C-alpha cells in the first residue's frame, strides 16, 4: 500500500493492522454521509433562502421527498434518443460517487488515498459533466443542445482554474495528492493565511460556484429556458433518471464544498496518525467537522445568492477568467514566496 | 447592506398555514408522498389566473411549504396547472404536454374558464374547456380564483 500511493503519505500504513481498517470505516462513512447528506444540504440551502425571502420554506427533508417520489415515477425515453441519453445519469451519478469516496473529506488516510489525485478528481468531475452534456445533445431539442454548449463553455473555463489553483497548493506539499496537501495544511494551519493559499481559496470558491451551477453563473431554480445552463440539459429527463441527476448535482456540490473546507479549513480531518480507539475518535470528529463545515459553507453560499442576481451569459467568461487569473497569481506567489523563505 | 437591513426588518411575511383542506384527493395522489411538481400551462387565459398563481408561489401564501413547486418541463412534473379556455391553437400543445408527463399524472383546472369556458364560452377561437381535451382531476372555481382556493387544491394533491 505504501509503495503504491504516489505521495507515500500513508502514515496509516506505518501503524499496525488497525489503521487500515479504520481508514476503510472512515471512507465508508464518508460515502454514506455524502449519499445521505447531499440532498439534505440542498434542502438546507433552499430553507435558508426561503427564510431570508420571508417564506416559511418546505423543510430540509423536501429534496429527499422529491427523490423518493421521482423514483416511483415512470421513466420515459423520449422518441429518438439513444444510449448517450440513457447512460448520462448513470455516469454522472457514478463519477460523483467515486469522487465522494476518494476526496479527503473525513480522513486523509483512506485506502483509496492513492486515487485522490488532483488530476484524477478533476477528470472524474469533467467526465460526469461531459456525459450529461452528451445526454442533453442526444435529445435533439433546441434547449438540450443550447444547454450542452453552454455547459461545455463553462467547463472549459472552470477545469483549468481548478487544476491551477490546487496546483498552487501542491507546490509546497510537493505532491498533487489531495490527502497529502490536506495533511500538511492541518499540521501547519498558518499556511492557510499565506497569500498563495488565500488567492487559491478565492479562485476555487468561484469555480465551485460555476461548476455546481449556482448564482451568479447559473440559477438552479429558473423556469426561463433561455437563461438555463444545467437545467436546459436535463429538461427531457423524468422519473428515476431525473432523481439520479438531481442527487448527483447535490453530491457534487457537497463534495466540492467539502473539498473547499478540507483544503482551507482542515481542522478536524482525521489524518490516521493515531491508532486504536484514538483513530476511531478522530474519524468521528472528522465526520462531525465535515458535516458542520459543509453546512456552514452551504448556508453562506445560499445567503450570498439572495443578494445577487444571475450574471448575463456573456459576462460569465469574464468572471471565470478573473478566477483563473487569481489561480495563476496563487501559483506565482507560492513559487516566489517559497523561494524567498 | 440596505438589503440586509430590509431582510431583518421584514422578517417572515408568510401567513400562518391554514387548516389542512378536507375533501377527497385522487387516490393515486398518495403515491406522490408530499412532493408535487407542477407545470403551468396557459391554454388561452386572460392572465388573471396567472397573477393569482404567481401570488400562490410568492412569499405570502408560500405554496412551497406544502411540497408544491413549479418546474420548467412537463417531464419533471407530476401535475399540470391549466388556466383559461383551451383555444384552437393550444389544443394540440396541451394534449402533447399531458402526454409528456410521466405517470402517475394529474391535471388541475384553475379558474372558471378552465372548468367551463367562463366568460369566453362560445367564442370563435375556443375549442372547449380543459376537461374536453385532457382528463381533469381537480377544479378550482372563481374568476380569478382566490389564492387560498388554489392552495387548497394543491394541498389536496400534496397531502400536507
Ligand atoms: S377564469 Fe377569469 S381570470 Fe381566469 S383566465 Fe378566465 S377570465 Fe381570466
In tens, the pLDDT along A218-254 reads: 887 777 777 788 888 888 898 899 999 999 999 999 9
CA torsion sign for B100, B101, B103, B109 is negative
Counting as low any pLDDT under 50, the low residues of chain A are: 1-17, 340-341
In the prediction, which pLDDT does A2 show? 36
In the prediction, which pLDDT does B34 show? 83
Q: Establish if B102 touches chain A: CB-CB under 8 angstroms.
A: yes
- For chain A, the domain total comes to 1
Domain of residue A98, residue span: 18-340
CA torsion sign for A19, A21, A27, A32 is negative
Question: A235 to chain B: which residues are within 8 Å by CB?
Answer: 72-73, 75-76
With beta carbons less than 8 A apart as the criterion, state whether A262 and A121 touch: no
Shortest Cα–Cα distance, B71 to chain A (Å): 6
- B110 Cβ closer than 6 Å to some ligand 1 atom: no
- B87 Cβ closer than 6 Å to some ligand 1 atom: no
ipTM reported for the complex, 2 dp: 0.89
B18-44 confidence digits (pLDDT tens): 877 777 777 777 778 888 999 999 998
Of B65, B69, B76, the CB nearest to A242: B76
Within a domain: residue A10?
Answer: no
Q: Establish if B103 touches chain A: CB-CB under 8 angstroms.
A: yes
In the prediction, which pLDDT does B28 show? 78
Within a domain: residue A4?
Answer: no
Rounded Cα gap, residues A42 and A76, in angstroms? 25
State the pTM of this model: 0.89
Residue A126 has a CB neighbour count (10 Å cut-off) of 18
A68-110 confidence digits (pLDDT tens): 999 988 888 888 888 889 999 999 999 999 999 988 888 887 7
Counting as low any pLDDT under 50, the low residues of chain B are: none
- Domains contained in chain B, CATH given: 33-158 (3.40.50.12280)
Measured CB to CB, residues of chain A less than 8 Å from chain B are 50-59, 62, 65-66, 68-69, 72-76, 78, 222-225, 228, 231, 235-239, 242, 306-307
CA angle B104-B107-B112, nearest 5°?
170
Amino acid at each position: 500500500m505504501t509503495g503504491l500511493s504516489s505521495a507515500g503519505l500513508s502514515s496509516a500504513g506505518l501503524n499496525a493492522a488497525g489503521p487500515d481498517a479504520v481508514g476503510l470505516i472512515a471512507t465508508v462513512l464518508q460515502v454514506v454521509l455524502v449519499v445521505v447528506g447531499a440532498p439534505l444540504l440542498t434542502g438546507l440551502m433552499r430553507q435558508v433562502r426561503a427564510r431570508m425571502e420571508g417564506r416559511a420554506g418546505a423543510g430540509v427533508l423536501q429534496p429527499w421527498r422529491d427523490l423518493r417520489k421521482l423514483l416511483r415515477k415512470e421513466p420515459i425515453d423520449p422518441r429518438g434518443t439513444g444510449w448517450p441519453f440513457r447512460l448520462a445519469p448513470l455516469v454522472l451519478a457514478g463519477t460523483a460517487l467515486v469522487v465522494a469516496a476518494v476526496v479527503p473529506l473525513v480522513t486523509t488516510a483512506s485506502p483509496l488515498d492513492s486515487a485522490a489525485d488532483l488530476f484524477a478528481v478533476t477528470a472524474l468531475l469533467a467526465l460526469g459533466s461531459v456525459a450529461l452534456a452528451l445526454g442533453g445533445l442526444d435529445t435533439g431539442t433546441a434547449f438540450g443542445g443550447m444547454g450542452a454548449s453552454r455547459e461545455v463553455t463553462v467547463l472549459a473555463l472552470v477545469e483549468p482554474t481548478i487544476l491551477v489553483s490546487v496546483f498552487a497548493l501542491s507546490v509546497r506539499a510537493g505532491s498533487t495528492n489531495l490527502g497529502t496537501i490536506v495533511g500538511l495544511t492541518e499540521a501547519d494551519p498558518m499556511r492557510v493565511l499565506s497569500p498563495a493559499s488565500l488567492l487559491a481559496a478565492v479562485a476555487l470558491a468561484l469555480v465551485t460556484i460555476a461548476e455546481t451551477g449556482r448564482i451568479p453563473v447559473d440559477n438552479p431554480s429558473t423556469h426561463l429556458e433561455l437563461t438555463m445552463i444545467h437545467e436546459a440539459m436535463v429538461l427531457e429527463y423524468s422519473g428515476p433518471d431525473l432523481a439520479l441527476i438531481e442527487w448527483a448535482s447535490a453530491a457534487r456540490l457537497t463534495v466540492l464544498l467539502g473539498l473547499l473546507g478540507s483544503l482551507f479549513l482542515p481542522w478536524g480531518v482525521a489524518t490516521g496518525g493515531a491508532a486504536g480507539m484514538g483513530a476511531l475518535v478522530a474519524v468521528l470528529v472528522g465526520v462531525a467537522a465535515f458535516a458542520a463545515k459543509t453546512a456552514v459553507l452551504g448556508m453562506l453560499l445560499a445567503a450570498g445568492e439572495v443578494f445577487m442576481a444571475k450574471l448575463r451569459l456573456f459576462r460569465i467568461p469574464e468572471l471565470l477568467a478573473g478566477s483563473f487569473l487569481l489561480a495563476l497569481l496563487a501559483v506565482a506567489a507560492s513559487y516566489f514566496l517559497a523561494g524567498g523563505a | 447592506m440596505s438589503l440586509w437591513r430590509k431582510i431583518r426588518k421584514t422578517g417572515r411575511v408568510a401567513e400562518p398555514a391554514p387548516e389542512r383542506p378536507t375533501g377527497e384527493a385522487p387516490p393515486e395522489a398518495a403515491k406522490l408522498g408530499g412532493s408535487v411538481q407542477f407545470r403551468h400551462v396557459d391554454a388561452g387565459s386572460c392572465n388573471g389566473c396567472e397573477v393569482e398563481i404567481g401570488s400562490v408561489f410568492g412569499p405570502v401564501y408560500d405554496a412551497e411549504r406544502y411540497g408544491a413547486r413549479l418546474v420548467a418541463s412537463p417531464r419533471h412534473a407530476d401535475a399540470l396547472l391549466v388556466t383559461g379556455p383551451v383555444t384552437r391553437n393550444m389544443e394540440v400543445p396541451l394534449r402533447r404536454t399531458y402526454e409528456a408527463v410521466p405517470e402517475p399524472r394529474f391535471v388541475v383546472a384553475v379558474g372558471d374558464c378552465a372548468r367551463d369556458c367562463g366568460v369566453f364560452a362560445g367564442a370563435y377561437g375556443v375549442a372547449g374547456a380543459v376537461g374536453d381535451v385532457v382528463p381533469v382531476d381537480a377544479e378550482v372555481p372563481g374568476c380569478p380564483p382566490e389564492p387560498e382556493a388554489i392552495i387548497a387544491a394543491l394541498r389536496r394533491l400534496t397531502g400536507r
